[in-house]
Structure 1
Amino acid sequence: MATSSTSSRTPEQVFADHGRRLGTGDLDSISLNYAEDAVLITPTGVLHGRQGVKQVIGTLLADLPDADWQLKPQFAGDVLFLEWSATSPNGRVEDGVDTFVFRDGLIHAQTIRYTLV
């Protein structure tokens, strides 16, 4: 259950905190911005819960260690459409697209798609 401080966060605040946590690489910390029953949809399948978050984000961070990220967020209420690119020593992504759905100060659903070059 979300705490009152968590549930009062706006989608913009959750996303800003998500970015800070991604920078640490700490998957446990990153997963706390997601609802316990979050759904992540990727081209390879659907993952559930914070364990699914750790798996998907762990793969992303392994694909793009120490990346320089370029983000183009577009918020519409509780939904975020995010176009992104990233460059790292391991490669680059020029076509990243995610969608986030926020509720009660947490991420409840996310789609993720990118091509690692």
Structure 2
Amino acid sequence: MIKCCSNHKTNTSHVTQEKLSLLTGLDERAIRRSIKRLKDAGYLTVQTTIKEDADKGFIRRNTYYIKPASENYFFLNNSFFQKNYPAKIAGFLLMLKAICLNNTDTVQ
């Protein structure tokens, strides 16, 4: 979902964890754990900036830098994320797509 909310030319995203939570249906704690796993695996770099706002106090903003994939990747139509699949069905569909031939919906 971070990739869907990113600038596809620069591979950067300024999406908030709250917005990710709303888009995915996961709580913010699960979002933070997922981001940590992506960082630990080397797929994501996070830069945090803190700005002072007169009304809101200190505002923390994350910028996500997504490592470009050079191989072993697949594309999903964004409509996949707009459907309310149960989590197990969505996971199965993603795993099925992952074993398809590159950029196709064909499994050998």
**Structure 1 length as normaliser, TM-score?**
0.27
More strand by share: 1
Bigger radius of gyration: 2
**Structure 2 length as normaliser, TM-score?**
0.28
Higher relative contact order (CA 8 A, sep 6+): 1
